[in-house]
Structure 1
Amino acid sequence: MKKTLVLILVVMLAVTLAACGGSNSKEPAKESNTTGNAANGSKEASPEQEKVEIIITNGKGEIASQWEQAAKDFMAENPNITVVAQSQAVGDTLSILDKLTASGETVTVAMLEPSGVLNKYKDFGIDLSNEKWNEETKDGFKNADGQIVGFPFAIEGFGLVYNKKVVEKAVGGTFDPFSINTRDKLKELLDKIKASGVKYPIAYQTEAWSVSNHYSTQFLNQVEDGSTIVAQLKEGKFDLAGNAVWNGYYDTMDLLASADYNKYGERPLGQYYDDAHLSVGKGESAMLFNGNWAFDSLKAVAGDSFGFIPVPVDNNPDNPLNNKIVAGPTQILVINKDATPAQQEAGKKFLNWLVYEKAGQDFLVNKSQIISAFKNNPNKVTNPLGAAIADAVAQGKTMPFSTNYVTADDWYKIIGPDVQKYIVKKQTREGLAKAIQTYYTSKK
C-alpha cells in the first residue's frame, strides 16, 4: 500500500513538473509571434525575429561601391536580414530591375526614376503613406491616386550655375543669387560681367536633354502640380502659344543663347558640354545652365566655388518662379508589392535605416554626396552645388523638379530637336508650341 502511494505521488509530481516546464518553454514563442497564420496554423515570426533575404537595386551606378557597403552596414545592425545589393552599370540602358525580374528574381526595394514610378512601374509599389519617415520630408513621391509610393532617395536640382569668383568680381562684392529675380536684372548682371573683362558671360551648351527635358519643362511649375498641365496638353486644352509663362522661359532662353552673351552664340548647336564646363570652371565665362551633377566637370579644372541663380521668367520680382530654383527627388526607392510580407517589412526597415540611423545618414550624404530629402539628417554635402541646393531646400526656395512630370526620353529625342531648331531660328515659337502639342495629343 505504501509502495503504491509512493508511486502515485511520484507520478503526480512528474506530471506537475512537466506541466510547469511546458508552460515556461512556450512564453518565448508567444513573444516571437506576429500576425498572420502559416500553413500549419501557427503564427509567423516577426521580421525582427525571422531570417529573411531581400534584393535592393541601385540605379545610380556611380555609387555602386557605396551601395554595397551600405548593405553590409545595414546587415551588421540587422543580422536577421540578408541584403543582396545590385547596381546598374553606368551607361547601361537596360534596367537592373528588368534584368533581375526577367531572370525570375523578386526585387524587394527598387530604385526608379519618378517617370518610371508614374508610368512603366505604376503598379509595382506598395502604399508607404503611413511610414514614419514622411514626417521628415515633403518629398514622398505620390502616384496618380495620391498615395505615397516612393521614398525620395536623391534630391537634385538645376538652374544657372555660376562661378562665384567671377560674379563677385563683376558686382564688386558679395553676391546674392536670389537677387536676380527678373529678366532685366539678369541682363544687367551679364552686362556687368562683360564690363569686368569677361567677353562671353555665358557658356550655354545646347544638348537636347538640357534645352528640352530640363529647361523647357520649367513652365509646368506655374501650377502646384505640373501633371495637371500635362493632362490638359493630352486633351488639347492647354494653349502653349498663348501662355505667358511658357513664352517667358523662351524669352529668357533667347537672352542666354544670344551672340551678345553666349560663347557659342554664333554657332549655338554643337558638342559644347565639356568646353562649357571648362570655361566656367576656369572663370573664362561666368555661368551655364545645368544641375548639381555638373560639379564633377567643374571641379576638374578649378577650386573655385559655385552656386545657382534662378532662371527668371519675366520682370515681376514677386513671381515665385523668379525666386526659386528647380529641385526635387530624381531617384525613388519603391517596395515591391509582389515581395513577401516579411520581405516588405525588411525593406521598410532599410528605408528607416537610411533616415534614422547614423550609418544610414552617413552613407546617403557623406559617402554618396547625395542631397538628403530628410530634414533630420545633420550631414551636408561638400559638393558646393549640392550644398547650394540643400540650402535652398532648407530656405523654401525651390520648386518641383519639372522633368519628373514628363517622359524624359521622349522630350530628349522627340521634342529636343524642335527646341534646338528654335534656338537656331529654323523653328518659330508658334511652330515649337505646335510640335509639343502634337506630341501630347498623340499620347492621349
Structure 2
Amino acid sequence: MKRRSRTSILIVSLLVIMVLSACGNAANNGQEAGGSSSGGDGVKVTLLNSKGEIQQPLEEAAKAFSASNPDITVEVSLVPAGQSPFERASTLYASGNPATITMLDTGDVEKFKDRVLDLSGEKWMADTVPNATEHTTFDGKNYAFPLAIEGYGFIYNKKVLDEAVGGDFDPSTIRTRDDLENLFKQIEATGKKALVISPMDWSLGAHYLPLAYATQSKDLAEVDQFIASLRAGEVDLANNAPFNGLMDTFDLMMAHNIDSASPLAGTYERGPELLGKGEVGIWFMGNWAWPQISSFDTADGQYGFLPVPISNNPEDFGNSEISSAVSKRLVIDKEFSSPEQQAAAKKFLEWLVYDEQGQDYLVNKANIIPAFSNITIPAADPLGKSIQEHIAAGKTQQSMSTLPADHWAQLGSSMQKYLAKAGDRAGLITEIENYWKNVK
C-alpha cells in the first residue's frame, strides 16, 4: 500500500514537472518569436538596428515611446560588427527568432517581402517624400518604412575654400570638371592639399562608381534600363559619355590626392581627420561621416556638399546634383510576431513620424534626414542641411541603392586597382562589363 502511494506520488510529481516545463517552454517560445512577447505585462517589441551610430539615440527614443505607451516595451539590438543586416536578419529567421522590426538596406527588402507586413495602408504613406517607397514596392504593395535619407558627394571645408578663393566660397560656382580642377589648384596654392580619396572598396564600389549609372538619365526608368542592358552585355562603356566623364574626374582626383604616393594606404578614419583639421579642402564621402568630422573640427567650421562633375558642360545631368536616397528601411515581421506585436510596431513607427518627441529624436538626436514631408525640423548638422537644400532645389540624383550585394566588393576591388595604377581604364571597363554579364 505504501509502495503504491509512493509510486502514485512520484507519477503525480513527474506530471506536474512536465506540465510546468511545457508551460515554461511555451512561454520561452512566445518570447523568442520575433524576440518579442505579448503577455499580461504588455507587449514587448524588438528592433534590430543596422546603423550603429544611432544606437544610443534609438534606445533613448524607445524609452521615450514606452513612457508614453506604458503597455509597450521596445528593445533595440545592434547588428554585430562584420555582419550585414541581411546576414543577421537571415540568421535570426533561420533560428525562428527574428526581430519584430528589422532595419534593412533598401536592396534587401525584396528578399524578405514574403516574411514582412504590407505597409501600404499606413497613415505615413501619404507623407513620404517623392520616390521614398519606389524600391520597396512590389506588385503595388509597399513593404518598408523609409527611415533615413543619406547623400554623398564632395564634402568641403568652407574655411579652407574661403582661403583658397580669397573670399566667401560659393559652391554654385563649381559646375564643371574645369571648375573643380581650378579649385583644386587654388587650394594647393595656399600650401594645403586639395582632397583625400578614401580607398575602401565600399566607398569606391558602392558610392563613386554608381554615379556612372545614375547620371545616365534623370529618368529613373531609363537608369533601370541601362542596368538591364549592362546585364545583357549590350553596353559599350568605352564609348559611354557619363562613364568616361566620371572616370576623367577620378583621374583628376588621383592627381591631386594627398595620398597619391600610396593611394591604398589610407583608412576611413584618415578622411574626417584631414578634412576636420583643414589639412585638405575636400573629401569624397557622405553625410554619415559628420560625427567623425566634427570631432576633429575645433573651430566650429562650416561644411557642405559639392556635386561630382562628369563633364565641362554645366547643363549636363550630374554636374549640379549630389547623390541622395533613402538608405535604411524598417520592416515588420509577420511570420513570428503576434498581431499585438505588429500593432505595437506600427504604433512606434507612426510615433516617429507624427509625435513631436519622436520627430525630435529622429532629427536632432539621431541626426537623421527624414523621408517625410510633414517633418519640417531642419537637419541638425551642416551636411544634413546641405542635402536638404539640394533636395529642395531639385538638385539631386538617385543613389543606386538596389545594386547586387557583391557589387561594392567586386567592382570596388577593380576601382582600387585603377586607383593604385595597377590597371588601366580598358581593363577596368572589361571587369565592369564582365561583372554585369555574370551577375546572378
Question: Structure 1 length as normaliser, TM-score?
Answer: 0.81
For 1:324, the aligned partner's letter is E
1:4-403 alignment to 2 at 5 Å?
52-93=43-84, 95-118=87-110, 120-136=111-127, 137-138=129-130, 139-140=132-133, 141-145=135-139, 147-195=141-189, 197-221=190-214, 222-223=216-217, 224-225=219-220, 226-258=223-255, 261-302=256-297, 303-338=300-335, 339-402=337-400
CA distance 1:267–1:84, shift in 2 (3 Å):
closer
Q: Match of 2:191, SS? A: coil
Q: Match of 2:143, SS? A: strand
Distance 1:443 1:126 in 2: 29
Distance 1:199 1:57 in 2: 43
1:209-262 Cα offsets, whole Å, 9 max, x none, are 22222100112212333443332222222332221111111010000111xx22
The alpha carbon displacement at 1:62 in A equals: 2.7
Say whether the 8 Å CA contact 2:259–2:266 is kept in structure 1. no
Q: Does 1:433 align with 2:429?
A: yes
Distance 1:241 1:405 in 2: 24
The alpha carbon displacement at 1:147 in A equals: 3.4
Say whether the 8 Å CA contact 1:205–1:264 is kept in structure 2. no
Distance 1:242 1:144 in 2: 34
1:403-422 alignment to 2 at 5 Å?
404-408=401-405, 410-422=406-418
Say whether the 8 Å CA contact 1:62–1:90 is kept in structure 2. no
Distance 1:301 1:52 in 2: 43
The alpha carbon displacement at 1:91 in A equals: 4.5
State how many pairs are aligned: 390
Of stretches 279-288 and 268-277 in structure 1, the one that deviates more from structure 2 is: 268-277
1:155-174 Cα offsets, whole Å, 9 max, x none, are 11110011101111222322
Distance 2:120 2:170 in 1: 38
Say whether the 8 Å CA contact 1:116–1:122 is kept in structure 2. no
The alpha carbon displacement at 1:267 in A equals: 2.7
1:288-311 Cα offsets, whole Å, 9 max, x none, are 111112223322222322111100
The alpha carbon displacement at 1:81 in A equals: 3.2
**Which ranges in structure 2 are unaligned for 5 or more consecutive residues?**
1-37
Distance 1:342 1:231 in 2: 42
The alpha carbon displacement at 1:394 in A equals: 2.7
Say whether the 8 Å CA contact 1:150–1:332 is kept in structure 2. yes
Distance 1:91 1:430 in 2: 33
Distance 2:75 2:420 in 1: 49
Q: Match of 2:308, SS? A: coil
Distance 2:311 2:439 in 1: 31
Distance 2:113 2:355 in 1: 30
Q: What is the percent sequence identity of the aligned residues?
A: 40
Say whether the 8 Å CA contact 1:157–1:291 is kept in structure 2. yes
For 1:393, the aligned partner's letter is I
For 2:96, the aligned partner's letter is G
1:258-289 Cα offsets, whole Å, 9 max, x none, are 1xx22122332212433333222222211111
Q: Match of 1:300, SS? A: helix
CA distance 1:82–1:281, shift in 2 (3 Å):
closer
Distance 1:285 1:106 in 2: 44
Say whether the 8 Å CA contact 2:205–2:409 is kept in structure 1. no
CA distance 1:189–1:148, shift in 2 (3 Å):
same
The alpha carbon displacement at 1:52 in A equals: 4.2
Distance 2:320 2:348 in 1: 36
CA distance 1:368–1:167, shift in 2 (3 Å):
same
1:347-371 Cα offsets, whole Å, 9 max, x none, are 2222211110011101111111111
**Which ranges in structure 1 are unaligned for 5 or more consecutive residues?**
1-46
Say whether the 8 Å CA contact 2:363–2:377 is kept in structure 1. yes
- What RMSD over aligned residues (CA atoms) do the two structures have, in Å? 2.4
Of stretches 223-232 and 54-63 in structure 1, the one that deviates more from structure 2 is: 223-232
For 2:431, the aligned partner's letter is A
Distance 2:318 2:355 in 1: 36
Q: Match of 2:331, SS? A: strand
The alpha carbon displacement at 1:70 in A equals: 1.9
Q: Match of 2:112, SS? A: coil
Q: Match of 1:439, SS? A: helix
For 2:331, the aligned partner's letter is V
Distance 1:79 1:304 in 2: 42
For 1:218, the aligned partner's letter is L
Distance 1:431 1:289 in 2: 24
